[in-house]
A = this chain, B = another copy of it.
Amino acid sequence: MDIKNNEEELLSQCFDSLFPICRSITGPGLEQSIALFKEYMPLQIEKIPTGTQVFDWEVPPEWHFKRARLWGPNGEVVCDTNESNLHVVNYSEPVNRSIELEELQKHLHSIPSLPEAIPYVTSYYNRSWGFCLPHKQRQELQPGTYKVEIDSSFFHEGGVPFAHCTIVGESSREILLTSYLCHPSLANNELSGPLVLLGLHNRIQQWSKRRFSYRFLLNPETIGSLCFLSKYYRHLQSNLEAGLILTCVGGPESNLKYKSSRMANSLFDSYVSYLADHNPTIWKALPFNPLGGSDERQYCSPGFNLPMGQISRTTYGQYDGYHNSLDTKEFMDIKQLIKTIDQLEAFLLDAEIAGKPLNLSPYGEPQLGKRGLYPNVNSPNNWRNSSDRMHDDRKVLNAILTILNLADGEHSILEIANLLDLPLDDLRPIIEKLESENLIRFNSEQNV
């Protein structure tokens, strides 16, 4: 069994454990889910107490939910969250009463255009309750008296948790990889992100060398990222090189979409823009916007303006199963998650050398000859000959001279690769040689 199969097996098992849990932005379902990830990553769990003011928000009480059921006039079960967590409006208040169909309708949610699907509905900050059911089923409901039982409560001694861990690299400059954990029983628009995060954690841990430090973060969407930011945003403002918010990273779509950060010139912004030009079948670059999307709405608010982009494959709002029961493991597809992990790992590896190098011997040309980087006898044989080797030597020398000349901390390897019209991978051995000769280093502290 090779490592790929192991990885696929691991992600599939995790998926199966996580899918049935009734998560929300707080509460036992969420904490149980975090605990499961903690088995595979050394997550540190922090919790911001209910009632804390977090920027413009107040941390809500925990939603402790057990079960919700709706019975019809003849005692038949209409909805039962033991069958699907989606049946209850997330954060419903406790109810135990009888109600006529006409009034009940105000508390029902369905999707006329998708008559088989149970929608996913939330009401976190406005006390309310409701049931979600297939539109087809809803249309068959008979007039009469229904019985509603929602066994939930609001717990004021709890809070909003988030969980993170860091793989330390050579530099204190950080790459933040994050996804949200809060939706119950949705696949592409919930578990795909945390599972790819786990996969990337395992891959990066195996790299022989890491120039950046990598932080992995799971939190409930919006309020969770705000809680994290309330404790770490000064740290991020000093240390964050770039980051990715993972959302909807599975599903059938063939290419990865990268939504730029608001600043639009982060390391990842520049690199994806380059990739979208060179590998359009894999990468698609989208401009930042604050409409829809995920936690980039918080990271990229004007007060923070952090270099966080967003990655998706089969994007929210653009597939039928978005926010309803059609968003299944089969639709998401574990193999598509592996593909995402492969592509993001390659991306992160390249991004490690895509930044702005600094010439450590910037006064005049360094003497390349004494380092074996220059032909020692300046003879026509060394530059007039058109043999392949000579041609390659000249290309390498040109690359060395160009990198050294532009290594002023203001030009990125991306720009240099573009100028030389060479793929980033061709520059990697040259960059590593120049680093080992102590002629350049990456100016990873450049934004500090």
The closest CB in chain B to the CB of A117 belongs to: B380
**A381 engages B109 (CB within 8 Å):** yes
**B56 engages A376 (CB within 8 Å):** no
A32-59 interface mask toward B, CB cutoff 8 Å, 1 = contact, 0 = none? 0000000000000000000000111100
**B122 engages A367 (CB within 8 Å):** no
Per the bound structure, the CA–CA distance linking A302 and B366 in Å amounts to 11
The closest CB in chain B to the CB of A385 belongs to: B112
A395-416 interface mask toward B, CB cutoff 8 Å, 1 = contact, 0 = none? 0011001101111100000000
Tally A residues with Cβ within 8 Å of B.
62
- A365 at the A/B interface (Cβ < 8 Å)? yes
Q: Which of A367, A381, A401 counts the most B-chain CB atoms under 10 A from its CB?
A: A367
Residues of B within 8 A of A126 (CB): 369, 376-377
Distance in Å from the Cβ of A241 to the closest Cβ of chain B? 21
- A364 at the A/B interface (Cβ < 8 Å)? yes
- A418 at the A/B interface (Cβ < 8 Å)? no
**A376 engages B123 (CB within 8 Å):** yes
Q: Is the interface of A mostly helix, strand, loop or mixed?
A: loop
- A119 at the A/B interface (Cβ < 8 Å)? yes
> How many copies are assembled?
3
- A128 at the A/B interface (Cβ < 8 Å)? yes
A281-307 interface mask toward B, CB cutoff 8 Å, 1 = contact, 0 = none? 000000001110000011011111100
The list of the 10 closest CB pairs from A to B, nearest first, reads A303-B362, A290-B405, A126-B376, A303-B363, A302-B408, A56-B366, A298-B364, A55-B363, A121-B379, A302-B362
- A384 at the A/B interface (Cβ < 8 Å)? yes
- With A377-B128, A380-B109, A402-B289 already in contact, the answer to whether A364 and B119 are too (CB < 8 A) is no
- With A125-B370, A128-B377, A377-B121 already in contact, the answer to whether A362 and B398 are too (CB < 8 A) is no
- A111 at the A/B interface (Cβ < 8 Å)? yes
Across the interface, A380 reaches (CB within 8 A) one of B111, B291, B301, B365, namely B111
The closest CB in chain B to the CB of A121 belongs to: B379
**B303 engages A359 (CB within 8 Å):** yes
Residues of B within 8 A of A218 (CB): none
